[in-house]
Amino acid sequence: MCSWGSDRAVLLELDRVACRVGDEDLADVALRGVEVRDGPRVELADRGIDVVDEQAEVRAGRVDPVTGVPGVHEVQLDVADPVPVPTDAGDLGAVTIIEAEDLGVEAPRLVERAVDVHAHVADSGHPHRTILARPGRPAGVPAWSMAVSFVPFGADTWRDPHPIYRALRDDDPVHWSAAARCYVLTRFDDVFRAARDTDTFSSAQGLTFTNEIEALGLAPTIVMMDPPDHTRFRRLVSRGFTPRQVHEIEPGVRQFVNDRLDELLDERDADFIAGLAAPLPCFVVGEYLGVSADDRAQFARWTHAIVGAGTEGHDVSVHDALAGLYGFFTEQIERRRVEPGDDMISTLVAADDGSLEIEEILGYAFVMVAGGNDTTIGLLGGGAELLTEHPDQRRRLVDDPPLIPNAIDECLRLTSPVQGLCRVATREVTLHDTTITPGSRVLLCYGSANRDPREFGDDADQMDVAREITRFLSFSSGPHFCLGAAAARLQGQVVFEELLRRCPDFSVDAAAGRFADGAFTRRYDTLPFAS
C-alpha cells in the first residue's frame, strides 16, 4: 500500500473544470486536497472532504504556489492499489485512481476530462512536480504525464498565462476546454492557418465562448462577418486607414503624448494607464471618428466606461455610455450627410451607396471604440512592463532609437493584447489526431501562438528588440487582419520614443498593477509609474 516518509507527502487535487457548486461559481470555491501519509483511501464529496482512512491528513485551502489554480471541481475519488510513479525525484511511492464519479459536469462527454487528478509531490528536498493519473487505465498500466486544463482567464489570473500555454502547445495542441466549452488551438501554425481559413473557421456566430450576436440581439459588425459580407464592408472602411491618413495624425499624437508626459512626470503617485496608456487611444479613436474638441471630454467618459466595463471607478454606467454613444453617433451620421469631414464617419457616409444600414455604420464606430482602446492600452502597459524587466533591451533603444519600430512589434508579440478570439467550425476538421466537429467553438489562442518556439525559436519567451519577425498574430491574419494595426503601432512608437527620450530610467511596478477583467484581452487597468 502507499507508504511515505515523514518528510514527504503527495497532495491529491482535482483538475480545473468550470462548474457551479450550489450557487457558487468555481472561482469562489477554495482549492481542496488531501495529503496522504500511509492512508490508501481518500474520498472527496459535496464540497466537503471526508477522510475515510484515519491515517490520512487533510489540508484544505489554496495551493497557488504549486499550481496557480484558482479553484477545484468536486468529484468523488477512491485511491487504492498502488502503481509505481516514475519521476527523477526518487522513489515517491504510487497511487492509482480506481473510481471517479463526476458530481458537477452537465455534459456526459466532459466526464472523462473532468475527473483527471493531479498528484503534486511536496518534498523538502526537491522542487514541486506534477504528475497526472487518468482514471480508467488498466491496473498496473500507468498513464503519467503533465496535464493542464484551459480555464478562461480574468483579472485575477492574467498575470502569467504562459506556463499553461506552454503545456498545451507541447502536450495538447488541440485541447478541449470543459470550462469554456470549446477547443483551444495554441501552436502558431494551427492558429495562423485557422485565422486565414474563414470558410472553415467562421466569425459569423460571434467571437466569444457563446453566440453573443444571438444572445444580445446584436446586428453583426465587421468583425463578426465572413466573406462576402466582410469583404464588402472592409473595402469601404479601409479607405479611412490609408498610410497617408495614419501619417497625418502623427503630429497630434506626439503633442498629446508630450502633454500627458508633462503631467505624468510631475505626479507623485503616477499611474501609467490612467496618465497615458488609456487617454491616448481614446484621443486617436476620437480623431478618426471626427469627434470635435467640444465633445472630447464627454466622449472620453463614455469610452472609459465601455472599455472599463466590470471595473470600478467610472462616473458613467456602461448602459448610459452605450446609450450616449448611440445617440451621439446617430447625430454624427446625419450631420456628415450634409457636412462631410475628413473622418471615418464621413468616409462611410460618402461611400454609402444605399447598401449600408445605419446600424452597420454605428456598429463599426463601436468596434473602433472597443477594439481601438483595448489593443493599444495592452501594448503600452505591457511594453512598459517589458522595458522595465529588460534594462539591457531598454538601453539598446535609448542608444539606437531607430530600433523602436521593430521593438514595438516585439512588444506586440510578447504582450498579445488580444490573447485570443473564437471561431466556429463549419465542417469536420482533424488536427493532431483530434477531430473538431462542425458547430464547435474554437479559440484561436494568439497569446500562445506568439510565443511558440516552433515559429520564433528557443528564445521565444525572451525580449529581443532586434528580433527579425516575419509574421505574428497580435493583429490576427488574413481577412480579419486588424485595420487599425498601423495606428496602434504609431501610438506605441511615439510613446516609447518620447518616454525614452525624456525619462530613460522610468519604471513601472507590475507586481502592484491590476489587470482588467475579461477573458480575451490582457491589459493592465492600473500600473504604478515612477520616473
Q: Of 141-145, 350-354, 478-482, which gets the smallest average pLDDT?
A: 141-145
**Beta strand residue intervals within 164-322, DSSP E:** 174-177, 182-185, 201-202, 270-271
Mean pLDDT of 486-510: 96
DSSP string, 50-78: E-SSTT-EEEES--HHHH-------EEEE
Mean pLDDT of 199-212: 90
What integer pLDDT is reported at residue 379 of this predicted model? Answer: 97
- From CA 76, how far away is CA 49, in angstroms rounded? 9
Positive/negative CA dihedral, 456, 458, 464, 466: negative
What integer pLDDT is reported at residue 356 of this predicted model? Answer: 67
Q: How confident is the model at residue 362 (pLDDT cuts 50, 70, 90)?
A: confident
Residues whose CB falls within 8 Å of the CB of residue 21, separated by 6 or more in sequence, listed in order:
29, 47, 74, 104
State which CATH number among 3.40.50.2300, 3.90.1200.10, 1.10.630.10, 3.30.70.890 fits the domain covering 162-530. 1.10.630.10
User: 336 pLDDT exceeds 70?
Assistant: yes
What integer pLDDT is reported at residue 406 of this predicted model? Answer: 97
Q: How confident is the model at residue 353 (pLDDT cuts 50, 70, 90)?
A: low
Residue carrying the nine cell digits 453573443: 212
- From CA 364, how far away is CA 422, in angstroms rounded? 19
- From CA 84, how far away is CA 385, in angstroms rounded? 44
Contact indicator for 112, 154 with CB cutoff of 8 Å? no
User: 276 pLDDT exceeds 80?
Assistant: yes
Mean pLDDT of 400-420: 97
User: 237 pLDDT exceeds 50?
Assistant: yes
User: 11 pLDDT exceeds 50?
Assistant: no
Query: What is the b/e burial string over 260-288, where b = at least 16 CB atoms within 10 angstroms of the residue's CB?
Result: bbeebbeeeebbbbbbbbbbbbbbbbbbb
* DSSP bridge pairs for 443: 184, 422
Contact indicator for 146, 130 with CB cutoff of 8 Å? yes
* Domain definitions of the chain by residue range: 8-133, 162-530
Q: Of 239-243, 293-297, 524-528, which gets the smallest average pLDDT?
A: 239-243
- From CA 386, how far away is CA 194, in angstroms rounded? 29
Contact indicator for 486, 424 with CB cutoff of 8 Å? no
Give the pLDDT confidence of 46-103 residue by residue, as tens digits: 223 332 222 222 222 222 333 333 333 333 333 333 333 333 323 323 222 222 232 2
